[in-house]
Amino acid sequence: MDKIQYERELYEPLRQHLDNLGFDVRSEVRSCDLVAKKNNLIYIIEMKRHLSFDLLAQAVERQSYADAVYVSIPKPNNFKQDKIWKSKIKVLKQLNLGLLLVSKTGSTYMVEEALIPESTTSKRQSSKKRTALEKEFSNRSLDLNIAGSTGVPLVTAYREAALYIAYLIRKNGPQSAASLKTNGAHPKKTTSILNSNYYGWFSKSIDRIYTLTAEGENALQVYKPLADAFSALDMASMEDSTG
């Protein structure tokens, strides 16, 4: 068994594991490492290289708005179900937390469900956080974040909506806010995104026609997978309409 050196290495095996179980998965959603949703169930998975008090405290906080919470760590290379390990499992059981172990052999990763929460009965106390989490989750069309990464700008629902506006301007040329909405931009967010111009991606003329700045063009390169996905969706829509 090879050593897993970085927290971010846990992400793809966990995403694939959850996907195989029928969950839709998004990473880095409102500070949660991984959020998995199936029907009305929401699972949250917090990743770390080691079990720690901070990890447990973080996971317990998530229980206030999730149906089940797991912690995930690399499986220790010298793994033994000894007294120390059993005491850790006992603590996790007391907290009603699940445990996912990720191991690596060569280029192959494996996920083991070492502990399932004894109950998925909701202890939710924060409906506000639950609603915000579900909204952010559902407003993302793709999962382009890698949980556990640092120094990489996240693709939030807001950033995705702004990127789609930039994509439409690059595709169709300078446009008004109304024209952008007609072409598929978000019906409620578009005007506020253009007016605030938070990322500096847009330039407005006197007659309120929007063009892309150099920053906007660069953003479409930085987030090229998302821009390519927009293009693919447009092509599929055109094929459907032509029959």
Count of CA atoms in the C-beta half-sphere (13 A) of 35: 26
Residue 148 pLDDT class (50, 70, 90 cuts): very low
Task: Look at residue 4 in the predicted model and tell me its pLDDT.
Answer: 79
Would the pLDDT of 223 be above 90?
A: no
The pLDDT > 90 percentage for the chain reads 30
Q: In Å, how far are 52, 81, 145, 167 from 84, measured between CA atoms?
A: 14, 8, 35, 54
Task: Look at residue 154 in the predicted model and tell me its pLDDT.
Answer: 58
Q: Average pLDDT in the 214-239 region?
A: 77
H or E stretch including 84?
helix 83-94
Give the domain ranges of the chain: 7-129, 157-242
Task: Look at residue 125 in the predicted model and tell me its pLDDT.
Answer: 64
Residue 159 pLDDT class (50, 70, 90 cuts): confident
Least confident range of 34-48, 74-88, 110-124, 175-189: 110-124
CA distance 84 to 57: 20
Per-residue pLDDT tens for 56-70? 998 999 998 898 999
CATH topology of domain 157-242: Arc Repressor Mutant, subunit A (1.10.10)
Would the pLDDT of 155 be above 80?
A: no
Q: Average pLDDT in the 96-125 region?
A: 81
Least confident range of 110-114, 187-191, 212-216, 226-230: 226-230
Q: Average pLDDT in the 134-156 region?
A: 60
CATH topology of domain 7-129: Trna Endonuclease; Chain: A, domain 1 (3.40.1350)
Question: CB under 8 Å, gap of 24 or more: what pairs does 210-213 form?
Answer: 210/165, 210/169, 210/174, 210/175, 210/176, 210/177, 210/180, 211/169, 211/174, 212/166, 212/169, 212/170
CA distance 37 to 24: 5
Least confident range of 171-180, 191-200, 225-234: 225-234
- Which residue bears the tokens 């172990």? 101
Residue 59, SS3?
helix
Q: Average pLDDT in the 163-182 region?
A: 93
CA distance 162 to 140: 12
Would the pLDDT of 243 be above 70?
A: no
Task: Look at residue 94 in the predicted model and tell me its pLDDT.
Answer: 92
Would the pLDDT of 139 be above 50?
A: yes
Residue 2 gets which letter from DSSP? B
Length of the chain measured in residues: 243
